[in-house]
Chains A and B, each alone.
Chain A
Amino acid sequence: MIPQIVVIVTTIKLLFIPLYHSTDFEVHRNWLAITHNLTLDKWYYDETSEWTLDYPPLFAWLEFVMSFIAKYFDPKMLYLTNLNYKSEMTILFQRLSVIVLDFVYINSVKNLSTYVGNGKLLVFILLVTSPGLLMIDHIHFQYNGFLYGLFLHSISHVIRSNNLTAAFWFAVLLNLKHIFLYVAPVYLVFMFRAYCFTISSVDGVHTPWYSFSFTNLFKMGFTVLSVVGLSFGPFIQHLPQILSRLFPFKRGLCHAYWAPNFWALYTFVDKVLLHLAIKFGIQAKKTEASMTGGLVQEYEHAILPTITPTVTFVLTFVTMVPALIKLWYLCADRRYRVMSFVRCLVVCAGCSFLFGWHVHEKAILLILIPLSFLSVLGDVDGKQFLILTTVGNYSLFPLLYPKNLLCIKIFMLLTHVAIAFVNIPTLYEPAKVKGGRRVRVLRLPLLKQTESLYLYILIFMCVYENSLHILWGFDKTLPFLPLMMTSVYCSFGVIYVWIKFYHYFLTFNVSQVPTLCSVNLAQKYKKTT
């Protein structure tokens, strides 16, 4: 059934071609022009457009290659000074390039789904129909599908114990988009424990230091460094310039509109305190600072201490450490190594999403996509996935603000969520006993009453934001209220899922694993070993 589903999903993408696209469209057009016209040493210096090249070199190479195909569609799009140029052929070419590169993603998902015992097709559908990817890539315009395709490809090599290949692809990925640095520690710990130590133990506590293999360490280091060298080598003289482009710390704590993370809550509390302070006549440090309007660069909190990049880094790192230590021990056991690895990816992506500096709302995909894969492999994973896929994708809605996209967003999310809610519980719930179960009013499958309620309130939020808010005339006085509501409300959900999942991961005990799903994985191991 896979070809049919691929055709359906691809046609939906085709339908999106003439719809709204964000400034990222112009960003990528500009990069095509930069890489096509300029020599290598000027790529990272050009400032004709405000959208300068700020992806790592391999991505620039990709744009370079694509620009040669672009020539046949419309050579004018490659003129450097042709800012905001969007002829029909340009749009067609750019959209098609995303759709075609998405086949990398589809292929990786297909390969990955073969390792799942129960629910092969389900995991394929869930990943391929991810509304977040469809919205960001095919309406908003970015190349995430391709990048996550490589990410999943790397994970599938980890599953097959091809650690070197996995590391190679991950290194390539890092050189395409550096956002994946967020999960690099997980790779580091995993490769160190699972690849550089040749002996695995079953009890999970003892670390056989004597089995440390310098050959493997060398092989691993050589693979990764050669990729990085190939990518950054030609730019060796311009390294400081590139780095300043890649890591712009001039930007603020939160993105233009707040990603639903810990800082959204923090800033929200700060705002509330500020209002209270004004009401009670207490002098605040600063009285007015708009956070939600447009391109905000830096922001100082009024009441609570202002956050600096260092704080966010320390916090991110500190929250990651327990998970990484746990992963070290879990990696000892060959049978559950892979599952723990993917779970740790989710946890650490969560840490960096919640506490990172200048986090984009799109980064939620970094949690969602590995979690989608896990959703068919364990009941806790499945349950957390159900919550997070609803909340996380909902939190992306403000990204596509034109009103005519509203229903497309809503029904895309609903279709995806319906597939998840109808099918995932059938994997875990015991067969129905006749008349055995009580009727639970409006309770979603697998979820608790409060969790269901939380998700139901999203419907009211959606109605409020899109009709009542304007109808009651608040759009004049409080234009940013809907955005803030979405971020703050969704951040509760994301933090809840993260804590639950973190707890699940830390208390994960190999002897109590629900083996329902891992049977097939275990068989794969037998074959490979």
Chain B
Amino acid sequence: MTRRADPDKFTVTKEALLPGLLFAMLVRWCVAAYPYSGYKTPPMYGDYEAQRHWQEITVHTPKVKWYHNTTQNDLQYWGLDYPPLTAYHSLLMGLVADWLDPESVRLFASRGYENDFHKTFMRWTVFLSDIYFYFTVALCICMDAERVLGKEARDKSVFKRTDIATTLFLLYPGIILIDHGHFQYNCVSLGLFLWATFFIIAIENDTLATIFFVFALNYKQMELYHALPFFFYLLRKCFIGMPLGRGKFVHFVRSLNKLAIAVVSTFVIVWYPFLNGWDNVFQVLNRLFPLNRGIFEDKVSNVWCMVNVFIKLKTIYTNQEMAKTCLLITAMAAGPACVDLFFRISKKKFVPCLINVSLAFFLFSFQVHEKSILLVAIPVALHLPEDPFMCFWFLLVSNFSMLPLLVKDGLFIPFIATNLIYTSFYSICLRLSQPNSGYFSIFNANRVAKILQPNKKDSSPLLSFLSLIFFFSIIGMILLTIGTVFVEPPPQYPDIFPLLVSAYSCAHFLFFFFYFYYQQFSLPMCLPAVTKVKRK
């Protein structure tokens, strides 16, 4: 592990840190007061019921039966379809629930169990998971980003001040709305993923990064969206620091072995209860990757959903064929970013590569959920200090793409409110670095660019053009939001507004896909520092 900056120079800017953190928590609780998905809608309810049901199953059935259809475990009713770590997490919460309110996890009898106390309990579980996995890592990443800046540069970029960056990161509405409103535990998988990222971009401890990424993967299989950059980056790093002459191969094998052992042993530990036979493992895998579910659910802002408007994919192709096509196209879309990361490695490229690969997966892969945009949005939020204008724009669009889902859950007010808060806080950030900017400076790309390069005097026409597009993009989003909520759709097209929202966001995502590709390719190659430098 190397320390790149002089530790003496390091002080955390903390004026707004405590209020910021507490405010982020307040916003979470305000959203948590609203209904969750499937609130009082029998017979299937929603994600809230799924999570509660998993607690019920994990507490009352033996571990090997969790993923099997048994008399006690009806897989048709919200069967467990996430990897073992989720199940363990459910077990832990289930045990607490069993202690506090046994009725809430009684086998069979508790289906559709809803009351205020239980809601508060469930909200607390999300909140504590959020603090434990997500807040901590956000703070660590932002502190490190400030630390490497050094004292001189610190005053210049407001987005790299620990307090500001952390608060802005934590106020990102998407994850607040989905976890604390809609009800899921994305903060855990994304938190673990962020820890892995933190160990790569800050600490440079590859083994720990591997272990944490395997954990993330074992919490939600959706983390596979992020797997390729980790794989290629870590593989490339095995080639670095080779001794001259003999021993090259030994060095490579040794560094690779270290990671392989970390991966395998973590997997074995996590999967230990399910390793008593291949049948069992395949059953779990079958639950995790259900190919028979179809190419997408509801309206997703990815390419297939758009194509489906004109060509009914589901009727023409079988799921198997479709899955193969998706795999091929996703590989083609994600490939160049990975190859670039591998051959022209640079630590700064890691996060853009994460964005590109996960965006490629979101746009082109099989069985995409609208909530999967969070997997793209979190790396973008990480990238925000480097490129505030575009990242902020992307994050707004990512929230907007989830609008139909949130409106269905009764989360319209929180959607508007959290976005307004986020925008206002972003505007405060601009104001802090440039005292003469007003509320609507967020629309001015030139002004935002000046935060990063204060010496730049003239404004570039390209940025002015981008500002204009951004402005109209926002107007479009506002109009579509009004349409979704207040306008009665024509009877022959009941789904017109969700579809328009998807199409609008999809067009944006394609644009951002090219933009971030361009960003990644324009970064120069820079070998990461070799670990264990011997100084003489």
Contacts and interface: CB of A to CB of B under 8 A. Distances in A.
Interface of A: 1, 3-5, 7-8, 11-12, 14-19, 403-405, 407-408, 411-412, 414-415, 418-419, 422-423, 426
Interface in B1-55: 14-16, 18-19, 22-23, 25-27, 29-34
B439 interface: yes
Contact of A4 (B16, B34, B416, B428): B428
In order of increasing CB-CB distance, the 9 nearest A-B pairs are: A411-B26, A407-B29, A415-B22, A15-B30, A418-B19, A4-B424, A11-B417, A418-B18, A7-B424
What is the interface of chain A mostly: helix, strand, loop, or mixed?
helix
B273 interface: no
Contact of B33 (A3, A8, A408): A408
A419 B17 CA distance: 10
B110 to A, nearest CB: 20
Interface of B: 14-16, 18-19, 22-23, 25-27, 29-34, 116-117, 119-120, 123, 127, 413-414, 416-417, 420-421, 424-425, 427-428, 431-432, 438-439
19 contacts: A1-B428, A4-B428, A8-B420, A8-B421, A8-B425, A12-B417, A12-B421, A15-B413, A403-B116, A404-B33, A404-B116, A407-B127, A414-B26, A415-B26, A418-B18, A419-B19, A422-B15, A422-B19, A426-B15
B31 A4 contact: no
A19 B33 contact: yes
Nearest to B14: A422
Contacts of B123: 407
B25 A411 contact: yes
Contact of A408 (B30, B413, B421): B30
Contacts of B30: 12, 15-16, 408
A14 B428 contact: no
Contacts of B119: 404
What is the interface of chain B mostly: helix, strand, loop, or mixed?
helix
B26 A403 contact: no
Contacts of A407: 29, 32, 123, 127
Given A4-B431, A404-B33, A412 B413 contact: no
A18 B34 contact: yes
B425 A4 contact: yes
Contacts of A426: 15
Contacts of B424: 4-5, 7-8, 11
A416 to B, nearest CB: 8
A405 B116 CA distance: 11
B442 to A, nearest CB: 10
A15 B439 contact: no
Given A14-B417, A19-B33, A422-B15, 13 more contacts: A4-B431, A5-B428, A12-B30, A15-B417, A17-B413, A18-B33, A18-B413, A404-B116, A408-B26, A408-B30, A411-B23, A414-B26, A426-B15
Contact of B22 (A1, A14, A414): A414
A411 B439 contact: no
A418 B438 contact: no
A15 B30 CA distance: 7
A418 B439 contact: no
A1 B426 CA distance: 11
Nearest to B21: A418
Given A3-B439, A14-B413, A18-B413, A418 B22 contact: yes
A408 B417 contact: no
Given A15-B31, A17-B413, A423-B15, A404 B26 contact: no
A7 B431 contact: no
